[in-house]
Structure 1
Amino acid sequence: MHRTARTVSAALAISLACGLTACGSGGEGVAADAEQTLTVWAMGAEGEKLGAVAAEYTKANPEIDVKVTPIGWDVAHQKLVSAAAAGTLPDVMQMGSTYMGEFAELGVLEPVDTKTFDKKDFFPAGWEQGVVDGEVYGVPWYVDTRVLYYRTDLAQKAGVGKPPATFAELESMASAYQDKAKTKWGIYLQPRGLDTVQSFYPFLYSAGGEIVDENGKAVVNSPAAVGAFEQYGAFFDKGLSTKSVQPGYDPLKDFNTGNVPMFFSGPWIRTLIDEQYPDLKGKWAVANVPTGKSSTSMAGGSSLVISKDSEHKAAAKEFVAHLTSAQAQADWYRRTHDLPANLAAWSSGELAEDPGMKVFFQQMKTAKSTPTLPTWSEISASVDTALESVTQGKASGQEAAGKAQSGVEDLVSR
């Protein structure tokens, strides 16, 4: 997908359509307890699994027939744009953080009732993903963050008895893996391509850097950000991480063989290791992002939003309240292993007792969400390009940050 043209074309399509229709003019409509059909779009694996939850909800609330349509992430954006332009968005939608600014700006989302949904119930970074220009449009459904996966058996061979506490220790540990445990690489960090920035975020945020600050100003050339570029690039300069991989590369296979003994990733990897590589049991662990000025990882996940044109807003709000309650979130974790956005869901069961999940909980408490800007996809693409110039040895951290700054300044000024 050509990300530069996406926001402009979406805005144009919807503005033209709304010139002929009443986009964004829906009222409260049907009462919550009236007999009605509630339409819901959900993406990816969540879309495939939400139908069973919706069926249970309908059974408990027979007046509400919840119809879930699964949508693939590869076509989700275009389907949302087309439906928004036609005035046919569903009542409730799953929305990733990178979409939120765009669709809020287009005026097709209903603001969240903050008397019903309290930000204190959710991880701060999860809540912030639904806030655009001070208005709340999304309720956190599930969250995501990245932590460090590492081979404990190979760390023992390397003479390292604990996970790295700082980024200097991360680099030393990567060297020890190669020198003493004889691994091919010391760590995997994404060297180039789409969303390289996601691999960079732990370095950037932990250094105290940002791409765009809270005032909407480009700050990717700040001293903290420049230092993060240089620190990231050092792993490639020193041969600790590969400079080239095939598109779609997954380090898990190499993690199993030991060629890649460390990498940053999300919670779904735990399940994949258990299912695909059971022989690794007891030979790996997770740890929090090393500390710079802080230990701060990226925050991801999805929110639930309601269409501004929905005639079923009352019922939609009740369904969203159900899905984001502590009990429903704990059940959703058992079904999907998505991290609950509701803090109370972590108070019992596996989420409270599993040492690995405690690492994710701790990391999520300090995680940082990306700004909800309509042009964020283009902004992150600009940083991807800058990172590639550093990992491939074509630019210094200072030079790359300066180039990224210029591109980001142009995009935030739109």
Structure 2
Amino acid sequence: MSDPSRRGVLRLSAGTALLGTLALAGCGRGDTATATAKATAKSIDDKPATGTVNVWAAQGDADVLGKVIKPFKAANPDVTVKFTLIPNSEYYTKLQAAIAAGKGPDVAQFFPESQAQFLDPSILRPVPDGLVDSGAFFKSLWDAGLVKDVAYTVPWYAYTYALVYRADLAKKAGVEAPTTWAEMVPFFTALKGAGAVHGLGADNGWDIFNGQDVAMYAWQAGGNLLSPSGSWTLDTPAMVDALKYNASFFTSGSADTATPTFLDAQPYFVSGKTATMITGPWVLGQLDTAAKQTGWTAAHVATAPLPAGSSGSVSFSAGGTWGVLADSGNTDASWKFVRYVSKPSTQVAQYSAYGSLPAVISAWDAPAVKKQPLLDAFLTQLKNTKPFPQVGSWQQVATRLGKEVETVAKGTQTAEQAAASIQAYAKTLGTGAE
């Protein structure tokens, strides 16, 4: 599975000082710019690519791209693809600086959960007509790159959250994975009775990721983060319910407000200090290593979609995308590169090389992916996801929401107070639509 170090990229969310020099998505973009973007999204032919394509990406999933695109280079002998791989913690900062200085690459990797600030015709070129079939991707991943019906990014790999739990302890306790909110804490309690110290290993950074979790629960409770007109709606009954639901994991004793931290999660899970994680698919490839035993995961672990609230089992869509910069010197070859890495066969090759889950739905039928039963829950969940708000201030709002989550979990503030607080904070930032 992919390495979770991509989380380091998202931790840049609130520290985007350079964004003041960029045309932020949602911040004053007019209909004229949108119309221009649509008009310039010309089709790309099938002739061989030529010239040089400079590609920037974050270290991790992109590390194997040189190997994965060998067939592309063989079919396009007159093109040179140059990769610049940047540490996750520095990636967006360096990309923003390069764009502001007019020295950006031709093609850049983005993250659908944190790319809103780049979705502007002054920064990215619109995806050309017919380059890819938008319906081939998980809908929320494609939608994350849309602004006013103009697509600026093409999905590359996907992930979302699902339930990962100790199947051996569940069997011992005689319980099955919960399917509703009401079943969640009793499930954790049963796993504790079967020998776990805590039923849930919550990631307690009290940061953007906790904020994303509660946003996900608000969707499950029937809420929305933005109104149809584009204003923040974070003090709704659904958000209050989400905060209370999350807090119940801690007030019930199912989870500890202090541990584990992100890097402790796998060792705790393997040792039985915790018995469940609400996490992404990358963890599945790390548990044998944590257990120092090949086959431990297959013998001890099961997965399930997230338990449903009143509006169902909804998660968020995340992963990797590609965009071509507005000032690229070789847009034709750049889009041909993007088209190639978006093909189902290429995404299967990417999965085989690194474990990146395909963003193209049909690629999940390939034997290399389909033979992995623990991925079934993630596929089910990916079909029921939403994108986070595509506004430049979302990352700051989610980070602040994570802090508010902590106060409710620790009982220093009520869910109602926390919802009011995050709404007031979000309104000071705005969305660009007010």
What's the TM-score, normalizing by structure 1?
Answer: 0.90
The structural deviation recorded for 1:274 is: 3.2
The 5 A counterparts of 1:267-346 are 267-277=281-291, 278=293, 279-292=296-309, 293-346=311-364
Matched, 1:257 2:271: yes
The 5 A counterparts of 1:193-208 are 193-195=206-208, 196-208=210-222
The structural deviation recorded for 1:56 is: 4.0
8 Å contact from structure 1 (residues 14, 85) kept in 2: no
- Deviations 1:95-154 (CA, angstroms, capped at 9, x unpaired): 112442212247210011142222111100110121134321000011110110111111
Match of 1:234 among 231, 248, 261: 248
Q: Which amino acid aligns with 2:16?
A: R
- Once residues 73 and 138 of structure 1 are traced to their aligned partners in structure 2, the CA distance between those partners, rounded to angstroms, is 19
Q: Which residue in the other structure is 2:7 paired with?
A: none
8 Å contact from structure 1 (residues 27, 309) kept in 2: no
Q: Which residue in the other structure is 1:125 paired with?
A: 140
Range with bigger deviation, 337-346 or 404-413: 404-413
Q: For residues 146 and 397 of structure 1, do their structure 2 counterparts lie closer, same or farther at Cα, with a shift above 3 Å needed? A: same
The 5 A counterparts of 1:2-21 are 3-4=13-14, 6=16, 9-12=18-21
- Deviations 1:159-180 (CA, angstroms, capped at 9, x unpaired): 31x11111111110111222x2
The structural deviation recorded for 1:406 is: 0.8
- Once residues 136 and 425 of structure 2 are traced to their aligned partners in structure 1, the CA distance between those partners, rounded to angstroms, is 37
Q: Which residue in the other structure is 2:29 paired with?
A: none
Match of 1:245 among 259, 263, 276: 259
Number of positions where the alignment pairs a residue of Structure 1 with one of Structure 2: 402
Q: Which residue in the other structure is 1:21 paired with?
A: none
Q: For residues 201 and 150 of structure 1, do their structure 2 counterparts lie closer, same or farther at Cα, with a shift above 3 Å needed? A: farther
Q: For residues 99 and 12 of structure 1, do their structure 2 counterparts lie closer, same or farther at Cα, with a shift above 3 Å needed? A: same
For the residue of structure 2 that corresponds to 1:37, the secondary structure is strand
Q: Which residue in the other structure is 1:19 paired with?
A: none
- Once residues 140 and 192 of structure 1 are traced to their aligned partners in structure 2, the CA distance between those partners, rounded to angstroms, is 28
- Once residues 413 and 205 of structure 1 are traced to their aligned partners in structure 2, the CA distance between those partners, rounded to angstroms, is 19
Q: Which residue in the other structure is 1:20 paired with?
A: none
Match of 1:374 among 392, 398, 401: 392
Q: For residues 393 and 34 of structure 1, do their structure 2 counterparts lie closer, same or farther at Cα, with a shift above 3 Å needed? A: closer
Match of 2:152 among 125, 137, 146: 137
Match of 1:352 among 370, 377, 384: 370
- Once residues 33 and 152 of structure 1 are traced to their aligned partners in structure 2, the CA distance between those partners, rounded to angstroms, is 50
Unmatched tracts of structure 1, length 5 or more? 16-23
- Once residues 366 and 318 of structure 1 are traced to their aligned partners in structure 2, the CA distance between those partners, rounded to angstroms, is 30
- Once residues 165 and 62 of structure 1 are traced to their aligned partners in structure 2, the CA distance between those partners, rounded to angstroms, is 52
Matched, 1:183 2:196: yes
The structural deviation recorded for 1:401 is: 0.8
Q: For residues 345 and 76 of structure 1, do their structure 2 counterparts lie closer, same or farther at Cα, with a shift above 3 Å needed? A: same
For the residue of structure 1 that corresponds to 2:250, the secondary structure is helix
Matched, 1:158 2:173: yes
Q: Which residue in the other structure is 1:57 paired with?
A: 72
Range with bigger deviation, 80-89 or 141-150: 80-89
Matched, 1:45 2:60: yes
For the residue of structure 2 that corresponds to 1:332, the secondary structure is helix
Q: For residues 142 and 5 of structure 1, do their structure 2 counterparts lie closer, same or farther at Cα, with a shift above 3 Å needed? A: closer
- Once residues 41 and 338 of structure 2 are traced to their aligned partners in structure 1, the CA distance between those partners, rounded to angstroms, is 18
For the residue of structure 2 that corresponds to 1:251, the secondary structure is helix
Matched, 1:266 2:280: yes
Q: Which amino acid aligns with 2:410?
A: Q
Q: For residues 280 and 376 of structure 1, do their structure 2 counterparts lie closer, same or farther at Cα, with a shift above 3 Å needed? A: same
For the residue of structure 1 that corresponds to 2:119, the secondary structure is helix
Q: For residues 395 and 27 of structure 1, do their structure 2 counterparts lie closer, same or farther at Cα, with a shift above 3 Å needed? A: closer
- Cα RMSD between the aligned structures? 2.5
For the residue of structure 2 that corresponds to 1:40, the secondary structure is strand
The structural deviation recorded for 1:201 is: 4.1
- Once residues 57 and 182 of structure 1 are traced to their aligned partners in structure 2, the CA distance between those partners, rounded to angstroms, is 52
The structural deviation recorded for 1:340 is: 0.5
Matched, 1:210 2:228: no
Q: For residues 142 and 214 of structure 1, do their structure 2 counterparts lie closer, same or farther at Cα, with a shift above 3 Å needed? A: farther
- Once residues 326 and 20 of structure 2 are traced to their aligned partners in structure 1, the CA distance between those partners, rounded to angstroms, is 16
- Once residues 247 and 150 of structure 1 are traced to their aligned partners in structure 2, the CA distance between those partners, rounded to angstroms, is 17
The structural deviation recorded for 1:353 is: 3.7
- Once residues 126 and 362 of structure 1 are traced to their aligned partners in structure 2, the CA distance between those partners, rounded to angstroms, is 15
For the residue of structure 2 that corresponds to 1:149, the secondary structure is strand
For the residue of structure 2 that corresponds to 1:156, the secondary structure is helix
